[in-house]
Amino acid sequence: MPEIFKLGTRGSTLARTQSQQVADQLAAIGGFAVELVEIRTDGDVLTGPLSQMGGTGVFVTALREALLNGSIDLAVHSLKDLPTAPAPGLTTAAIPLRAEARDALCSRSNRTLSELPPGAKVGTGSPRRAAQLRAARGDLEVVDIRGNVDTRLGRLEKDLDAVVLAAAGLGRIGRSAAISELFDDTVMLPAPGQGALAVETAQGAPESLRAALVALDEADSRLAVTAERALLARLEAGCSAPVGALAQRRGSMLRLEAWVGAVDGSRVIRQARATDGLTEVAATLLGIELAEALLADGAAELI
């Protein structure tokens, strides 16, 4: 009898798709079977404001409880939705190769940001995206939108000229053709961890599962998100703060760039730092160092 591991997932198309991709990769590496188990939260919570937002916090908690009580063996999270605080009893067992980290503009008639008409309506629910849109194009009308990726894209047929979404999410559900522009780092820095997944297990997971997860882990992706999340933690900010950060390996260096801004786009702070230490400790120190430089420039007033 082959081993069968249970992978807990949310029910959204994006969550199921990325969970299935990880399940297939792990099964191929480990020679075991992985089955998806949909984790639901109770009806009251599902109709509440958290579910409207994409419902990250409540689902992370539900998945973590299932890991701790042994009803699932592993869970796949979008790393940008995970709080930076450590989770007692759990391990981030793998950070697979990161997908595209950048944000994408999806617009009617395929226009780029600079081609949008004056006063165009652009949808996003993210203060970080709103702030960077306003800083780039003060004339835009930024409209607060909620819901899953398909719901947001659907607004292009209704009332909006464009929406901003993570390129990685669009790619995972096969909707990359909707992208009109991938935002350059100089226009919009992504959320810390965007485009990366975290595979979480309980401490003491079976050896065969742990070995396959080690093989799935990708060192440069782990280094980059470690630096970005250390910065976010030191700023004492969460996934809805107007904070953008992107770390990239360049040869023997890890470079981290970060952005903090007023939500109305009136004030922005941007700085970068690099380290030649390619270890998790060096990446963490890089994030802390850059956060402190931003705080010295007044970042705390903007968060």
Ligand X SMILES: NCc1[nH]cc(CCC(=O)O)c1CC(=O)O
- Measured from the CB atom, the residue of 198 and 205 that comes closer to ligand X is 198
Among residues 191 and 260, whose Cβ is nearest to ligand X? 191
Applying CB under 6 A, among 95, 106, 166, 187 the residue interacting with ligand X is 166
Regarding 105 and contact with ligand X (CB under 6 A), the answer is no
Residue 286 DSSP SS3: helix
Q: Residue 277: enclosing H or E segment and its boundaries?
A: none
- Count of all residues that appear for the chain in the document: 303
21 versus 278: smaller Cβ distance to ligand X: 21
> Amino acid identity of 188?
M
Of the CA atoms within 13 Å of residue 84, those in its CB half-sphere come to 22
**∠ at Cα 213 (192, 84), nearest 5°?**
25
Looking at the DSSP assignment, which residues form a beta bridge with residue 2? none
- The arrangement of strands across the sheet holding 181-182 comes to 141-143, 121-123, 162-166, 103-107, 181-182
Least gap, CB of 96 to ligand X (angstroms) = 11
Instruction: Report how far residue 207's alpha carbon sits from residue 204's, in angstroms, rounded to the nearest whole number.
Output: 8
* Smallest distance, ligand X to C-beta of residue 85, A: 18
120-159: which residues touch ligand X (CB under 6 A)? 149
Minimum CB distance to ligand X smaller for 133 or for 205:
133
Task: Find the shortest distance in angstroms from Cβ 167 to ligand X.
Answer: 8
Active site residue 276: no
| Contact string (CB under 6 A) for ligand X, positions 180-219, x = contact | --------------xx------------------------
The stretch among 106-114, 160-168, 221-229, 274-282 that binds ligand X (CB under 6 A) is 160-168
Give the CB-nearest residue to ligand X: 169
Environment class of 256 (CB within 10 Å of its CB; exposed 0-12, middle 13-18, buried 19+) = buried
Q: Which of 81, 103, 185, 264 is labelled catalytic?
A: 81
CB of residue 183 vs ligand X: minimum separation in angstroms?
12
What spatial distance separates the first Cα and last Cα of the chain, rounded to whole Å?
Answer: 53
Q: For residues 15 and 205, which CB has a smaller minimum distance to ligand X in the complex?
A: 15
Return the SS3 of 11. Answer: coil
User: E-assigned strands of 79-196?
Assistant: 90-94, 103-107, 121-123, 141-143, 162-166, 181-182
Could you say which of 140, 165, 189, 227 contacts ligand X (CB under 6 A)?
A: 165
Q: Per-residue x/- marks for ligand X, 45-84, CB under 6 A? A: ---------x-----------------------x-xx---
- Nearest Cα to Cα of residue 22 among 196, 223, 249, 227: 196
Q: Applying CB under 6 A, which of residues 66, 93, 168, 258 lies at the interface with ligand X?
A: 168
Positions that interact with ligand X (CB under 6 A): 54, 78, 80-81, 149, 165-166, 168-169, 194-195
